[in-house]
Amino acid sequence: MTIGVDEFTERARAFLDASAAPAPDRAARWGEGSDDVGLFDNSADRADSPAVLAARSWQATKFAAGYGWITGPRDLGGSALPIEHDVAFSRLEDRYAIPDPTILSVGLHMVRPTVARWAQPGVRESVGRGLASADVVGCQLFSEPEAGSDLAAIRTTARRDGDGWVVDGQKIWTSHGHLSDVGLLLARSDPAAPRHRNLTMFLVDMSSPGVDARPIRQATGAEGYSEVFFDGVRVPDSHRLGPVGEGWQVAVSTLMNERLSIGSGRSNRTVDLALLMELVRRHGDGSALTRDLAARAYVAQRLSERFAASCAQEVLDGGSPGPRFSLGKVLLVESLNRTAELVDHVLSGRAVADTTEWGTYAWHLVGLEIPAYSVGGGSDEIQRTIVAERVLGLPKA
């Protein structure tokens, strides 16, 4: 018998009370502690960094207590509960000071459900449970230098060789690829087959000979992404996900999970709105322009949050992450752009040069990190096209 949401929430609250401290109100303690407002955890740059170890430890703690994969199948360590229980736990968890889970987001929200649905027995159990408990960190090996936003145009090849496959090619902008244990790899397996019927999905051991994951240093100084090279990498057929030539179907299911994760706000780290308004109060000039920019930033973030909540509710009501969810990413990026615009106006040079004043220069990260949101998960242009054609029914350009 499934436990009710109310009883589940009470048990979850007791677990969180015993395992984590309440999240502080940063606006109420201005000038204290770290003033980091980055959208990504830039300290998670090594597999043994404290940020990575803390995130993995917290996920393992949740998994052991039955909260690591609330909706997941029991044979993979999940609790097999309805999605409303998962949403209830996420909302409750937001109230506590927990490690930044960014390093695990791709593995938990994209790789894990794909493995659960498409992986072969043995691999499904070992990797699925490993991802859920954070014993295994996963990445998504889709984007390529010359494929742009056209995923079907990838050039990485997988050639059949005996009881396995040999992979050659390159992927790029792989989130935490150099920190991952496994990678979800889409490759061209039959150059003679029709488009969308020539792809196969694999689960690659990132420590395999021939895999070279090179961190990409960004303008922020962080190395959250990598380019990954494959030179004669052997992948056993037991690590193939889905039928040969049906990789596009597997990829679409992964992208649907990604759309759900972004559209419902589950994998987004947003700006602390109370802290942003406190910044305006302390450093703004009170002019009509400042008030207008502050209002625009406030409304944009609230709109993004409300849309994410409506997407989550749609799933709770039995819906699936359809094309409307693409609007969630568009609204999120719009919100971040309005925030950056406000910060630039209020702080001016103090967001460009470090004066050592608390809560000023730290905001420069927001502007530098927005492009990652704008491109990641499908570029803004792709998302707008999806909304135009598949939601509004507008003709193709």
For 150-173, what is each residue's pLDDT tens digit? 888 899 999 999 999 999 999 999
Report the chain's mean pLDDT, rounded to a whole number: 90
Q: How far is CA 235 from CA 46, 81, 178, 207, in A?
A: 26, 34, 18, 12
Whether residue 268 has pLDDT greater than 60: no
Task: Give the model's pLDDT for residue 259.
Answer: 65
**How many Cα atoms within 13 Å fall on the side-chain side of residue 287?**
9
For 362-386, what is each residue's pLDDT tens digit? 999 888 888 888 877 777 888 888 8
- CATH of 20-28+39-133, picked from 1.10.3470, 1.10.540, 2.60.40, 3.30.110, is 1.10.540
Whether residue 211 has pLDDT greater than 90: yes
DSSP state of 72: S
Sequence ranges of the domains in the chain: 20-28+39-133, 138-245, 270-391
Cα separation, 82 vs 71, whole angstroms? 6
Task: Give the model's pLDDT for residue 321.
Answer: 66
The torsion angles phi and psi of 337, rounded to 5 degrees, stand at: -65, -40
Task: Give the model's pLDDT for residue 368.
Answer: 87
The pLDDT confidence band at residue 261, using thresholds 50, 70 and 90, is low
pTM here is 0.86
Task: Give the model's pLDDT for residue 12.
Answer: 97
Whether residue 265 has pLDDT greater than 60: no
Whether residue 29 has pLDDT greater than 90: no
Cα separation, 196 vs 198, whole angstroms? 6
Task: Give the model's pLDDT for residue 269.
Answer: 65
- State percent of the chain over pLDDT 90: 60
Query: Exposed e or buried b for every residue in 62-80, given b needs 16+ CB within 10 A?
Result: bbeebbbbbebeeebbbbe
Per CATH, which fold does 270-391 belong to? Answer: Butyryl-CoA Dehydrogenase, subunit A; domain 3 (1.20.140)
Catalytic, out of 84, 93, 258, 369: 258
- State percent of the chain over pLDDT 70: 94
Per CATH, which fold does 138-245 belong to? Answer: Butyryl-CoA Dehydrogenase, subunit A; domain 2 (2.40.110)
Whether residue 278 has pLDDT greater than 60: yes
Query: Is 258 annotated as catalytic?
Result: yes
Task: Give the model's pLDDT for residue 320.
Answer: 67
